[in-house]
Structure 1
Amino acid sequence: MLRFASLVSALFCSAAAAAPVVLSDIKGYGFDDNRQLQPFSVLVFDDESGKVIARGDAALTKKYATAKQQAGKGATVLPGLIDGHGHVLGLGQNLAQAELRGSSSEQEAVARVARFAAENKDAPWIIGRGWNQVLWPSKQFPSHASLDEAISDKPVYLKRIDAHAGWANSKALALAGISKDTLDPPGGEIVRDSKGNPTGVLIDNAMTLLEQHIPDADNAAKIRALQAAFKHLLALGITSVHDAGVDTDVVKLYQQLAAEHKLPLRIYPMLSARDPQLPAWLEAGIIDDPTDFLDIRSVKIYGDGALGSRGAALIEPYSDKPEQKGLLVTQPDQLTQIMQMTIDAGFQTNVHAIGDLANRLVLDRFEKLVPENKRAQSRHRIEHAQIVSPKDIPRFASLHVLPAMQAVHATSDKNMAGDRLGVARLRGAYAWRSFIDQGSIIVGGSDFPVELANVFHGLHASVTRQDHDNQPTGGWLPEQRLTLTEALRSFTVDAAYGAFQEHSMGTLMPGSWADFIMIDRDIFNIAPEQLWQVEVEQTYVNGKQRFKRGTE
């Protein structure tokens, strides 16, 4: 009994000693219970419990006069940013691979790969990512020939920027046994020349033919990649990520890091529908972490490919390639089966759908498989919802399906989307305003490392519909612009809603986690064109500083 009393006494003294922190002289912006923007100049939080205690004006400094005082020095404070669709391991690995983003031609991409290979002579494979043939003068897919000229003694494999196509040299194709006689797998394409020989480009499910031969990274390497990604994300003010499609190995690494208190930001992993162990996860049931560092209750299912590689599944043929309609990565019967299994288990079902056909197929299944009285509470999602038939957009609202969209995809795709789709289909493409106006809640994200993991780029794209050179004048499809408040919601409280977490993060309401960032300018008092230039000065998770610029 004495031992128990001593323990209680120690806990009480510890709690009593945990004085709140008063952060004053700030330009704070949060949201209330109705998702309305609320400014404040003082934030009070407990860095022991990690919770917000109060927010308001200077009167709070008097109320908490004995608390620890922290001067904000006029900084702008926002809720911690939430990226509603990213790939954390992929980001970490990408940071240690050949970077091809922004390469202006096939030749420049090859030159970058050659430099990377020269700097990594011990690497058994040369791996990279980021090429985008749409930005090259030829606008044509690359071939193994150019890679072979630079590197022929070891395999090279380079993912397209959207990870829906891969580019390999002859050595890699040979190791994978991919030849003229290899058949295209369902939902995939081996791009071939006029004689039927593989060119080196593999699309969607055909990528697996090669990727299965790349040596797997061990757990230690994966943890290093995850930690590199964590550091990168925190420096950008991201305090929570919805990790879109992770296998059992990665989930277990997350669980290990969480158990060791080594998760510095919050992870909402979507279990991959491709994981053979998915049925076991579903049978085990939802894992609701009271700390919200690792809530496991969703599944990522793959519907179609991507627009840039013409893998997005369309109702009508591509305008710039009439013989193609895209690819269904998961065939309709299998899609129904996996969605049914996930829905029946009570898990949130998040389906990748970019093309209008894929979106329609997924909506049809949600309508058939989800009982009407469970639609709102289930918060099922369509990841990307990028090209939707205008008559299907209202179905998102009526079926209570959340569009999880990435604003930067519009400004990245604007140079080729019209060519791929034609004018008429653009009416339902990247249609954020149409969704917002009908009452849909948009889960904002970036899809890193497809795009850069910078939420301020997403805010800028949402508000201006322009690239960083302020092009096109007036914005691309400007009628679909969002207000800054709507855009910020999509990356805070609305993204939290997409993970059943809106009462614990994304608002800075009293009782929520003290996840917040301090930035270098007031986003509500600058020209919208400057939004992408905003820099994060400090990042706090659970009231603990996790990043400070200049001390990295």
Structure 2
Amino acid sequence: MIGEEAGFVRAVRVAGPGREFLPTTEPVDIVVADGRIADIAPTGNLRPTGFVVDGEGGWLLPGLWDHHVHVLQWALAVDRVALGEVANARDAAAIMALAPETDGRRIGTGFRDGLWPDSPSLDVLDATTGGVPTYLINADVHSVWMNTAAFRREGFELVASGVVVEEDAFEISRRLNAVAPEVADAAVERMAHAAAARGVVGLVDLDMTWNDEPWQRRSARGFDALRVSYGTYPQDLDRAIAEGLRTGDPVRGSTNGLVRVGPLKAITDGSLGTRTAACTHHYPGEVGNHGLLTVPPDELVEMMTRATAAGLECAIHAIGDLANAHALDAYARTGAVGTIEHAQLVAHADIPRFARLGVAASVQPEHALDDRDMTDAIWAEQSAQPYPLRALADSGANLRFGSDAPVAHLDPWAAMASAVFRTRDGRDAWQPHQRVDIDTAIAASTAGGSTAAAEISPGAVADVVIVGADPLTADERGLRSMPVRTTLLAGRVTHGV
């Protein structure tokens, strides 16, 4: 029953971190008290207390986390036109001509033009969409294709391609996401319950805005579906410092401690799909285009130094190998604590530096499969390793899995399947030498990550999920479709029963 606090979990088999310390591989019972696991014993050896969750022989794991989500943008995406399967610019423009209007605008999301045979242009989009402001957000969110009416509405100077990139694209997304608070909060609530239905107990919100205000509001209204750690962006760093925000502190006004201040998030380069990720070698056919370093190295060091002094951890977006090298250098120079977000292309010599510097690799395994064809084409001449999950794990780096939703769907089971099998839809495994084992994937999908995973053990917080199949033996399709029976957050049912 949603909202009920469990006192006892009956007949579950522990499949995640912590199982190695149990005295049996048979089903166990678990006593929950004050939001924590108080005792574990073989089934039938403990007295049931309070509300009983019957695991019915299902498999128990620590509750799952998504370590990289743009919460509001993902929550709003359900009401936008999905363009992920569109194969060319003309088809995308034709689809948008028939799209419903919201507040006098048409909004599509999720297109991937990296391998399109034709290119987006102002003329192509204008020809089908006319005078209705129309916006197509790239799957990677680093570019937005707009028609003339949209450029005029936003006050942007027209460009022949119709495409704005990087900070201009982020600003457009911020404007499109600026819906009424009650609309935003209702969408986020729906998103949170959908996440709980996939076993998620927590996420890191990296929406590109001042996240402190909406999370204060949601917390005051009783948001309790997930744990949330929310980021701050460089344009708001002065404000965050002045207002005393420190990583790990509860959001101001919090009554339950579920929502907390997260890291400083800095975007230091572009993306693969927009061909702006900062790389050592140039992009094919574009001599001189090595991508963009959007934060100069010295500026990054200064920013991270200020954040660290103020008690903020760091989350540094770096996709290309050049950006990753500069981000690691900045961690080395500042002593900052935190993550590199994405780490999609990393020089072989830089891979061991993650572990040596204590920098977690916050990665999105689904992106490897979304981008496999683009990677093979656009990064074919790069000498660094793309999507180096196994190499990072073998070096001792702490992996933390996420989705980057709405770039990929918020589903940790999909992330695990992509990391373990490096394939989907029947295709051969892509770069199979970078697979990780299922234990690593599960650990990377918990709060602490692969080297500091939450465990099922007495004294641990009762953030757990019960699933209907053994993830340790599941095949690729089985992981993706994993049936989630019950999700508990500090012992309280957020999904199931």
Comparing 510-519 and 65-74, the one that deviates more: 65-74
Partner-residue secondary structure (3-state), 2:232: strand
User: Which residue number in structure 1 is paired with residue 446 of structure 2?
Assistant: 492
Moved more, 436-445 or 20-29: 20-29
Structure 1 residues 215, 485: CA separation in 2 closer, same or farther (over 3 Å shift)? closer
Whole-angstrom CA distance in 1 between matches of 2:221 and 2:278: 43
Amino acid at match of 2:201: T
Question: Does the 8 Å contact 2:24/2:42 carry over to 1?
Answer: no
* Correspondent of 2:103 among 94, 109, 123: 123
2:86 counterpart (83, 95, 103): 103
TM-score, length of structure 2 as denominator length: 0.90
The alpha-carbon deviation at position 297 of structure 1 amounts to: 4.1
Displacement of 1:213 = 6.4
Correspondence 1:341 to 2:293? no
Higher relative contact order (CA 8 A, sep 6+): 2
> Is 2:497 aligned against 1:543?
no
Find the aligned partners of 2:263 and 2:24 in 1 and give their Cα distance: 31
- Give yes or no for contact 2:73–2:207 (8 Å, CA) kept in 1: no
The 3-state SS of whatever aligns with 1:133 is coil
Partners of 1:241 and 1:209 in 2: how far apart?
Answer: 23
Q: 1:65 to 1:131 in 2, by over 3 A?
A: closer
2:11 corresponds to: 25
1:419-464 residue CA offsets vs partner (Å, 9 max, x unmatched): 2222552x52111111111111101111111001111111111111
1:11-410 residue pairs with structure 2 within 5 A? 21-32=7-18, 41-46=27-32, 49-58=34-43, 61-65=44-48, 68-117=51-100, 120=101, 123-134=103-114, 136=116, 138=117, 140-179=118-157, 197-207=159-169, 210=172, 216-248=178-210, 250-275=211-236, 278-280=239-241, 283-289=244-250, 292-370=257-335, 379-410=337-368
- The one-character-per-residue Cα deviations of 1:84-107 (angstroms, maximum 9, x if unpaired) are 111111111112222222223334
TM-superposed CA distance for 1:296, in Å, is 1.2
Give the match for residue 418 of structure 1.
Answer: 376
CA distance, structure 1, for counterparts of residue 36 and residue 238 of structure 2: 36
Task: Count residues with an aligned counterpart.
Answer: 490
Question: Secondary structure of the equivalent of 2:405?
Answer: coil
What CA distance in whole angstroms lies between the structure 2 residues aligned with 1:530 and 1:236? 14
CA distance in 1, matches of 2:406, 2:199: 16
1:456 aligned residue: 413
Please give the alpha-carbon distance, in whole angstroms, between the structure 2 residues aligned to 1:364 and 1:19. 46
- Is 1:469 paired with 2:425? yes
Question: How far does residue 336 in structure 1 lie from its aligned partner after superposition?
Answer: 2.5
Note the alpha carbon deviations across 1:194-234, whole angstroms, 9 max, x for none: xxx52111121232575676583232222122212212212
Matches within 5 A, 1:459-538: 459-466=416-423, 468-472=424-428, 475-495=429-449, 506-538=454-486
Higher helix share: 1
Q: 1:396 is paired with a residue of what secondary structure?
A: helix
* Structure showing greater Rg: 1
Q: Within 2, Cα distance between the matches of 1:386 and 1:49?
A: 41
CA 1:270–1:179 in structure 2 vs 1: closer, same or farther (change >3 Å)? closer
Between the aligned partners of 1:484 and 1:198, the Cα distance in structure 2 is 48
Q: Distance in 2 between matches of 1:517 and 1:414?
A: 31
Residues 57-108 of structure 1, C-alpha deviations (whole Å, 9 max, x = no match) = 22xx332255554322222222211011111111111122222222233344
Gaps in structure 2 of 5+ consecutive residues: none
SS at match of 2:195: helix
- Superposed CA deviations along residues 311-345 of structure 1, whole A, max 9, x for unmatched, are 10112212353331111222334322211211222
C-alpha distance in 2, partners of 1:255/1:21? 30
Please say which of residues 320-329 and 209-218 is displaced more in the overlay: 209-218
Preserved contact between residue 31 and residue 37 of structure 1 (Cα < 8 Å) = no
Cα distance between partner residues in 2 of 1:412 and 1:457: 12
Against the structure 1 CA distance between its residues 359 and 224, is the aligned structure 2 distance closer, same or farther, given a 3 Å change threshold?
same
Shift of 1:113: 2.5
Shift, 1:379, TM fit: 3.5
Distance 2:260 2:130 in 1: 45
What amino acid does structure 2 have at the position aligned with 1:483? Answer: D
> Aligned with 1:300: secondary structure?
strand
Q: Which amino acid aligns with 2:186?
A: R
**Partner amino acid, structure 1, of 2:220:** A
Measured in 1, the distance between the counterparts of 2:177 and 2:457 equals 47
1:173 aligned partner, one-letter code: F
Structure 1, unaligned stretches of length 5 or more? 1-17, 181-196, 371-377
SS of the residue corresponding to residue 224 of structure 1 reads: helix
Contact 1:35–1:489 at 8 Å: present in 2 too?
no
Residue 168 of structure 1, CA deviation: 0.3
Give the TM-score normalised by the residue count of structure 1.
0.81
Alignment RMSD: 2.9
The CA deviation at 1:142 is: 1.6
Kindly indicate whether the alpha-carbon contact (under 8 Å) linking 1:517 and 1:538 is maintained by their aligned counterparts in 2: yes
Counterpart CA distance in 2 for 1:72 and 1:443 is 27
The structure-2 alpha-carbon separation of the partners of 1:479 and 1:152, relative to structure 1 and needing over 3 Å to count, comes to: same
Could you tell me which amino acid in structure 2 is paired with residue 417 of structure 1? Answer: T
Distance 1:102 1:363 in 2: 36
Question: What letter corresponds to residue 56 of structure 2 in structure 1?
Answer: K
**Compared CA separation, residues 465 and 292, structure 1 to 2 (3 A):** farther
Change (3 A) 1:545 1:340: same
Work out whether residues 27 and 42 of structure 2, in 8 Å CA contact, stay in contact via their aligned partners in 1: yes
Q: Deviations over 1:451-506 (max 9, x none)?
A: 0111111111111111x21312xx111111100001111001533978xxx6xxx3
CA contact (8 A) 1:240 1:266 kept: yes
